Amino acid sequence: MEDLIAAAAAVRENAHAPYSGFKVGAALVTPEGQVFAGCNVENVAYPEGTCAEAGAIAAMIAGGATRIAGIAVIADSTSPVPPCGGCRQKIAEFADADVTVTMATVGGERKDVSVRDLLPGAFVAGHMGQV
């Protein structure tokens, strides 16, 4: 997980956050060991921005992978910052419930939770009658 935190910290530096000044980086690893990273990209029209986690997931899909085996998110905050609600659902789409989500600060604090604990009662394909 330390490698994922380092990858998330590195990509965080590329974040485009001129409005909030709150840079976030995310990195995920697939079961095959591929690492994909993303950073937040703000837009003056706030709802049009992209979260770091969504960027990492988009990079994974663009790279031909479809499963998350672990994910780390890092920000310059007083405590580890969890993914927003939308990103929790995006993570749950591609990760098993027991996959670890590591939330970290640039100061070295970290918290590990499972996808299940991050998004209890996740909406899944089974709710739509799909396996």
CA-wise closest residue to 70 among 9, 5, 15 = 5
Query: What's the pTM value of the predicted model, to 2 decimals?
Result: 0.94
CB neighbour list of residue 70: distance below 8 Å, 6 or more residues apart: 1, 4, 28, 29, 99, 100, 101, 102
> Is the separation of the CB atoms in 88 and 118 below 8 Å?
yes
Q: Is 44 annotated as a binding residue?
A: yes
Average pLDDT of the chain, as a whole number: 96
Domains and CATH numbers, the chain: 2-128 (3.40.140.10)
Q: What is the pLDDT of residues 58-106, one digit of tens each?
A: 999 999 999 999 999 999 999 999 999 999 999 999 999 999 999 999 9
Instruction: Determine if residue 45 is labeled as part of a ligand binding site.
Output: yes
110 contacts 118 by C-beta, under 8 angstroms: no
109 is catalytic: no
2, 13, 48, 53: the active-site residue: 53
